[in-house]
Structure 1
Amino acid sequence: MDRLTALDVAFLEAEDADSNVSLAMGALSIVEGSLPDYRAVLDSVSDRLTSVPRFTQVIRRQPFDLSAPEWVDDTNFSVMRHVRRTAVPAPGDDDALFGVVADVMERRLDRDRPLWECWIIDGLDDDRWAILMKIHHCIADGIAAAHLLACLSDEGAGDSFVSELRAIKEQPHHGIRMMDLTLNPARWVHQLWDTATALTSAVAHAADGAAQITAGLLSANSSSLTGPVTGLRRHASAQVSLKDVGRICHAFDVTINDVALAAVTDSYRAAMIRRGEHPSATSLRTLVPVSMRRSDALDRTDNRVSMMLPCLPVDEYDPVQQLRAVHRRLERAKSSGQRQAGSLFVSAANLIPFGVTALVMRALIRLPQQSVVTVATNVPGPRQHLRLLGQRVVRVVPIPPIALGLRTGIAILSYADDLVFGITADYDAVPDVNALAADIQRAVARLAALVDVPYRRTSNGTLTLVSPANR
Structure 2
Amino acid sequence: MDHLTTLDASFLQAEDSDPHVSLAVGGVSIVAGPPPDYAELVSALAQRAQGIPRCTQVLRTHPWDLGAPEWVQDPHFDIAHHMHRVALPHPGDDAELFAMIAGIMERRLDRERPLWECWIIEGLSDDRWAMLMKIHHCIADGIATSQMLARLSDDGVGATFATSIRGSRQSTGGSLLGLLRPRLNPVAWAADVLRATIAATSAVEHAAVGAAELTARVLSQGPESSLNGSLSKMRRFSAARVELAVMTDVCRAFDVTMNDVALAAITAGYRSMLLERGETPGPHTLRTLVPVSTRSARDFEVTDNRVSAMLPLLPVDESDPVTRLQIVHQRMTEAKSSGQREGASAAFTVAGSVPFALSAWTIRLLTRLPQSAVTALATNVPGPRGRQRLLGREVLEVLPIPPIALHLRTGIAMISYADRFCFGITADYDSAPDIEALSRGIECGVAQLAALGGRDQKPSGATTPS
Q: What TM-score does the superposition give when structure 1 sets the normalisation length?
A: 0.95
RMSD between aligned residues: 1.6
Q: Match for 1:285 among 281, 284, 287?
A: 287
Q: Tell me what 1:98 maps to.
A: 98
Secondary structure of 1:48's counterpart equals helix
State yes or no: 1:34 paired with 2:31.
Answer: no
1:210 to 1:404, Cα distance in 2 relative to 1, 3 A: same
1:172 touches 1:294 (CA, 8 Å); kept in 2? Answer: no
Secondary structure of 2:360's counterpart equals helix
Summarize deviations over 1:51-110 as a string: whole Å, max 9, x none. 211111111111222211111111111100000100111111111011111111000000
Q: Match for 2:237 among 235, 238, 261?
A: 235
1:447 to 1:60, Cα distance in 2 relative to 1, 3 A: same
Q: Which amino acid aligns with 1:161?
A: F
Secondary structure of 1:396's counterpart equals strand
Offset at residue 191 of structure 1 (A):
3.9
1:74 to 1:248, Cα distance in 2 relative to 1, 3 A: same
CA distance in 2, matches of 1:420, 1:188: 50
CA distance in 2, matches of 1:456, 1:93: 38
Q: Tell me what 1:127 maps to.
A: 127
2:176 touches 2:200 (CA, 8 Å); kept in 1? Answer: no
CA distance in 2, matches of 1:120, 1:81: 14
Q: Tell me what 2:389 maps to.
A: 387
Q: Within 5 Å, which residues of 2 pair with 1:410-429?
A: 410-429=412-431
Q: Match for 1:451 among 446, 450, 453?
A: 453
CA distance in 2, matches of 1:422, 1:214: 28
Secondary structure of 2:242's counterpart equals strand
CA distance in 2, matches of 1:407, 1:399: 14
1:217 touches 1:372 (CA, 8 Å); kept in 2? Answer: yes
1:311 to 1:176, Cα distance in 2 relative to 1, 3 A: same
1:241 to 1:187, Cα distance in 2 relative to 1, 3 A: closer
State yes or no: 1:296 paired with 2:309.
Answer: no
Q: Tell me what 2:435 maps to.
A: 433
Q: Tell me what 2:176 maps to.
A: 175
Offset at residue 176 of structure 1 (A):
4.4
Q: Within 5 Å, which residues of 2 pair with 1:35-50?
A: 35-50=35-50
1:188 to 1:47, Cα distance in 2 relative to 1, 3 A: closer
Summarize deviations over 1:148-206 as a string: whole Å, max 9, x none. 1011111111111011110111113553432764575x656544432321121111111
Q: Within 5 Å, which residues of 2 pair with 1:259-278?
A: 259-278=261-280
CA distance in 2, matches of 1:394, 1:296: 28
Q: Tell me what 1:252 maps to.
A: 254
State yes or no: 1:140 paired with 2:140.
Answer: yes
CA distance in 1, matches of 2:184, 2:442: 59
CA distance in 2, matches of 1:400, 1:170: 27
Secondary structure of 2:110's counterpart equals coil
Identify which range, 405-414 or 57-66, moves more after superposition.
Answer: 57-66
Summarize deviations over 1:293-317 as a string: whole Å, max 9, x none. 0011100010000000000011111
Secondary structure of 1:19's counterpart equals coil
Q: Tell me what 1:311 maps to.
A: 313
1:243 to 1:457, Cα distance in 2 relative to 1, 3 A: closer
Q: Which amino acid aligns with 2:153?
A: S
Structure 1, unaligned runs of 5 or more: 464-471
Q: Tell me what 1:467 maps to.
A: none
Q: Which amino acid aligns with 1:347?
A: T
Q: Tell me what 2:77 maps to.
A: 77
Q: Tell me what 2:212 maps to.
A: 211
Q: Tell me what 2:196 maps to.
A: 195
CA distance in 1, matches of 2:298, 2:185: 35
CA distance in 2, matches of 1:151, 1:462: 40
Secondary structure of 2:178's counterpart equals coil
Q: Which amino acid aligns with 1:446?
A: Q
CA distance in 2, matches of 1:341, 1:313: 24
2:253 touches 2:458 (CA, 8 Å); kept in 1? Answer: no
Q: Within 5 Å, which residues of 2 pair with 1:344-363?
A: 344-363=346-365
Identify which range, 37-46 or 371-380, moves more after superposition.
Answer: 37-46
2:176 touches 2:196 (CA, 8 Å); kept in 1? Answer: no
Give the % identical residues: 53
Offset at residue 454 of structure 1 (A):
4.7
